[in-house]
Amino acid sequence: MSEMFKGIGPIVYEGPKSKNPLAFKFYDAERVVYGKKMKEHLPFAMAWWHNLCGQGSDMFGAPSTDKTFGTEPGTMAHARAKVDAGFEFMQKIGIEEFCWHDTDLVPESDDINETNRRLDEITDYILEKMKETGIRCLWGTANMFSNPRFMNGAGSTNCADVYCFAAAQVKKALDLTVKLGGRGYVFWGGREGYETLLNTDVKFEQENIAQLMKMAVAYGRSIGFTGDFYIEPKPKEPMKHQYDFDAATAIGFLRQYGLDKDFKMNIEDNHATLAGHTFQHDLRISAINGMLGSVDVNTGDLLLGWDTDEFPKDVYVATMAMYEIIKAGGLTGGLNFDAKTRRASYTYEDMFQAFILGMDTFALGLIKAAAILEDGRIDGFIDERYASFKTGLGAKIRSGEATLEELAAYAEEKQNPGLPGSGRQEYLENVVNSVLFGG
């Protein structure tokens, strides 16, 4: 196997003063921050689809980026070359895990049996590479949204034959996840949603999705999959209404159908913002429900307003994300770069620049989140803000012992409670700025 990314890497940490474009300025894998090595706080993963398959095409233009890796696309030689390129890339950038869809790994045949044979062959090869390098699989998934058969969804399709085909893909993707030792299995409901209620039975579709997930759990457990299943919420795109709108909606769905013990969330920044939330919000909602599993790290562009899947660059956002993740006790999953280089960034070096950007941004986020926690003013303020619930009737409310009559009697006696205390938002924003930039 010949070197694909000639003259690039390995990428090493050189510190904030370095001007070397191919070096980390902040990500220092072995550095201990807040009690753990950076690489343990930041279990980065490479998304097979963007990094090895994405060629920079968009709905207005043809591919701009050559990802043939010296082979003929659509062949098994190309599939193998992507494995070679992927492992070389991960080793050079210093990433220890990867995520994949079935259709990222091999070209799909018209005959599912042949596709599955190809998947067996390529995963044998991936397994060899994993043993050679120590690189691991974070999660796998089935692409049940690209092929036109899934135009009306997979679990939510109106067509039972399509539903069975989806089941076959999930079954195979679970087999492969177990084969590769994957720690998770993702359901991103690509087309699990609808365009118009004029042709859609929402209840029927949601029940069918839940049934597909139940069958996946039963099968996965029967073949020894001990990891977490994940729902990756997204409110729209490609469908107008998607059922897994955001973390709160997906968690409610899981609870309604008794799937909450086996599933957690895979929260994606760009999906949270499409839902009108901050990334931090969806991380928090997942965490407080015990369902923060894994994270897709990317960013959208609020001026564009669609799923642009850009590499993370906003240190403030990364800081607040890491603040949530540390407070939640870390991730059982990882930080998957579900992100792509811009169409005009079409060189191999741009791929490395993109990961350096994402990894340095999250390293800074980690350092700054730890600083906020160590500073203590934010958490201290929040604690103090609810202090009236620590004693007296407040404490009784918290312990569930208070009655409505008792509270009403107290309020009637006490009369006007006055104002509840300033939220001091601007002060707190000043605190964050001083921790971020105060040295």
**Which chain residues interact with Co ion by CB under 5 A?**
268, 296, 338
**Cα distance between residue 1 and residue 81, in whole Å:** 9
Q: Which of 89, 98, 150, 188 binds ligand XUL (CB under 6 A)?
A: 188
Residue closer to ligand XUL by CB (options 234, 284) is 234
Residue closer to ligand XUL by CB (options 33, 142) is 142
Residue 45: helix, strand or coil by DSSP? strand
The H or E element spanning position 114 is: helix 112-133
Contact flag: residue 296 with ligand XUL (CB under 6 A):
yes
Residue given tokens 């006055």 in the structure block: 418
In the structure encoding, which two tokens stand for residue 181, read together? 């030792």
> Residues 78, 101, 271, 281: which is the catalytic one?
101
104 is catalytic: yes
Task: Tell me which residues in 226-245 interact with ligand XUL (CB under 6 A).
Answer: 232, 234
Contact flag: residue 186 with ligand XUL (CB under 6 A):
yes
Contact flag: residue 137 with ligand XUL (CB under 6 A):
no
Contact flag: residue 307 with ligand XUL (CB under 6 A):
yes
175 binds, among ligand XUL, Co ion, none (CB under 5 to 8 A by kind): none
Contact flag: residue 282 with ligand XUL (CB under 6 A):
no
Which of 292, 311, 301, 280 minimizes the C-alpha distance to 250?
Answer: 292
Which of 217, 54, 61 minimizes the C-alpha distance to 146?
Answer: 54
Q: Give the pairing type, strands 263-268 and 292-296.
A: parallel
Residue closer to ligand XUL by CB (options 103, 435) is 103
Tell me how far, at minimum, the Cβ of 232 lies from Co ion, in Å: 5
41 is catalytic: no
> Residues 84, 102, 104, 296: which is the catalytic one?
104
Tell me how far, at minimum, the Cβ of 314 lies from Co ion, in Å: 18
Q: Which residues, 6 or more positions from 127, have their beta carbon under 8 angstroms from its beta carbon?
A: 179, 180
Tell me how far, at minimum, the Cβ of 174 lies from Co ion, in Å: 19
Contact flag: residue 192 with ligand XUL (CB under 6 A):
no
Contact flag: residue 88 with ligand XUL (CB under 6 A):
no
Q: Which residues, 6 or more positions from 242, have their beta carbon under 8 angstroms from its beta carbon?
A: 189, 192, 193, 234, 235, 236
- Rama region for 403: left / alpha / beta (φ>0; ψ in -120 to 50; rest): beta
CB-nearest residue to ligand XUL: 188
Tell me how far, at minimum, the Cβ of 298 lies from ligand XUL, in Å: 8
Q: Which of 97, 108, 205, 268 binds ligand XUL (CB under 6 A)?
A: 268
Q: Give the pairing type, strands 193-194 and 241-242.
A: antiparallel
E-only strand ranges, 170-237 = 184-188, 193-194, 228-232
* Phi and psi at residue 185, to the nearest 5°: -135, 125
**Cα distance between residue 180 and residue 420, in whole Å:** 54
**Cα distance between residue 431 and residue 425, in whole Å:** 10
Start-to-end C-alpha separation, the chain? 47
234 binds, among ligand XUL, Co ion, none (CB under 5 to 8 A by kind): ligand XUL
Interface mask toward ligand XUL for 318-357; x: CB under 6 A: --------------------x-------------------
Catalytic residue IDs: 101, 104
Please give the residue ranges that form the binding site for ligand XUL (CB under 6 A). Answer: 101, 141, 186, 188, 232, 234, 268, 296, 307, 338
